[in-house]
Structures are given as structure tokens and as C-alpha cells.
Amino acid sequence: MAFLVSVTKRAERDFANLYDEVNAADAETALRWYRGLKEAILSLAEKPNRCPVIAEEPKLRHFLYGRKSYVYRIIFRVIEKENRVEVLHIRHGAMERARPSQ
């Protein structure tokens, strides 16, 4: 069963900021990386529960994308009743843990 992947306004803002941050407009490698991140997010449509629950909030899950200093953490929730995955936040993997208010 496929899930619909929706992205919150905050995650959209995170994603847009990330485009500038990695210089995707001017570097082919960065653009490929950015597109790969987008594909990884859309892959949540299939088996989103494969990703682990986060320590900060047991109702949320996450996955990591990237390598070395370009590892990003995608935080999302699975809404089973609606067959929907809601992407909440995209953060650099080295950032401190998210607090529920974030």
C-alpha cells in the first residue's frame, strides 16, 4: 500500500534553504545530491515504517541522507489512518536533538 507524502511549510522552507546552502544552482554535484534527497523523501511513500522512531518523540520517525559533512536528518510522522506521511523538518545531522517545540 502506497502512502501519500506531504511536506509541511516548515519542511518546504528547510528544503528551499538547503538548495541555497549546498549551492545546487551552480554545482552539478550539489544538484545531483539535492535531487537524490528529494527522491529519498518521496521514497517514504513505500514502507515509511522502515525508518526508526526518534528518541525525542516516539510518534515521529527519521532517516539520514548524505555522507560526511552533508548528512541531513529528515523527520516525519506516519498517519496510518490517512495512508499519509508528513515530512516535518529537514535538519543538518550534526545539529542538537530536536525539542518537541521545534
What span, in angstroms and rounded, lies between the C-alpha atoms of 75 and 1?
21
Longest dimension (CA), the chain: 42
Indicate if the alpha-carbon torsion angle 101, 68, 26, 34 is positive or negative: negative
pTM for this predicted structure: 0.83
What is the extent of the structural domain holding 32? Answer: 4-92
* Residue-wise pLDDT tens digits, 75-92: 999 999 999 999 999 998
Helix H or strand E segment including 41: helix 28-42
In a domain, 37, yes or no: yes
The count of structural domains within the chain is 1
What span, in angstroms and rounded, lies between the C-alpha atoms of 9 and 53?
22
In a domain, 16, yes or no: yes
* Residue-wise pLDDT tens digits, 34-87: 889 999 999 999 999 999 999 989 999 999 998 887 789 999 999 999 999 999
